[in-house]
Structure 1
């Protein structure tokens, strides 16, 4: 493993014992030889064998690091703690259920390498969702409402496949579920964002940790809060003189 990786792949997981090994090996296959990288899995206090599976994988994959929550804290906290632990200047994220395809990561990196310097987020866009009809319908309406309220010009903020600058991310306000609003929050901070079409796959094993009702209930409060943040936000650039 490089002493200083340029890219850190952060993966939050909760009870994903059956998915972590395949995902780790897919990340390695996608990135080895591309640029120095590390993989940071954050176990959100799983109650199955997820942590043991990750510890066993560390002996096989030198790029792998494992961070463990001492209490269940949710996906946003897992992502943030993974980013804080990461050593790369750029962060890629993937969901731990295997539905995001690590083979898309080089595509996001290529977009970054040709983008303007003030583009700090490359967000995956699942153009062909592999979810149930009810979940696709709920996401369609949630995305439409979000775009209307936040004006973030982003077709899909729920995709776990993202690439962003570590420093820019850590400068954002943190709150539970903030990972669903990264484009709007990055734009509020004065940065540009780009949506990149990516692959989406059926879940391999395990069950989803969300349902349409709990997403809707927390989404209403979150949208109001993010809209308030945008209204009250002010960007002031500085220079040393």
Structure 2
């Protein structure tokens, strides 16, 4: 099959979720509007995640994986997934499946016109503290980036791979993907998607990760924006 779309799934200690990930993503490949494959990125998990990932990949040709030697964080896992993608389009979803794989079809409908399509979580099913800290963090980030996005932390995105692979590597990358596409003079849009409570495993982000950490990352983004190199080749011979 000639695949067009790769879904990157970052994994860190998600042994209780992975069989459900397999079931739901395999079901999605049957209804996807673009031929789709899945790439697990194991971010140095210390549980049985790698063993389960290899079992899944051995029995499903649509699944493959890369595995880090040690834990490097969500942004590193997402960036590695982008770098190891060889399809026209790339996206990602968290392995906790608080967003629905079938909603990728909503995003894919717009990717022809846009270079990044991100979900925005409607009726979020998180705690009050988590929702409020995310809302504040998103407001701070928008004031720095002017990207117009309401929910850059939504773990459901589709990007043209040529744009994704030009994004420079830095911690906190996952919060700035729309802004990094704008730096490339790309077009972005947000689309409402479903959201569900986490039913297994442990959340990897606390108040520090969602609020104070992103504030520090905003200053890093401003520095990068000032130094960012962007060019277009008009002729080659």
TM class by shorter-chain length? over 0.9
Matched residue, 2:219: 224
Distance in 1 of aligned mates of 2:198 and 2:156:
15
Is 1:51 the counterpart of 2:46 in the alignment? no
Moved >6 Å (runs of 4+): none
**Cα RMSD (Å):** 1.5
Matched residue, 1:20: 18
Matches within 5 A, 1:124-203: 124-203=119-198
State the TM-score, normalized to the length of structure 1: 0.92
Distance in 2 of aligned mates of 1:229 and 1:135:
28
Distance in 1 of aligned mates of 2:120 and 2:210:
19
**Partner-residue secondary structure (3-state), 1:32:** helix
Q: In the TM superposition, what whole-angstrom CA distance separates every residue of 1:197-226 from its partner, at most 9, and x where no partner exists? A: 111111120111110123333212210111
**Structure 2, unaligned stretches of length 5 or more?**
none
Distance in 2 of aligned mates of 1:184 and 1:227:
11
Post-superposition offset of 1:29? 1.4
**Structure 1, unaligned stretches of length 5 or more?**
none
Is 1:36 the counterpart of 2:35 in the alignment? yes
State the TM-score, normalized to the length of structure 2: 0.93
Post-superposition offset of 1:189? 1.2
Post-superposition offset of 1:232? 4.2
**Matched-pair contact (CA < 8 Å) for 1:99–1:203:** yes
Q: In the TM superposition, what whole-angstrom CA distance separates every residue of 1:50-106 from its partner, at most 9, and x where no partner exists? A: 111111212332100011111111111111111222221110100111112101011
Answer with 153-162 or 143-152: which moved more.
143-152
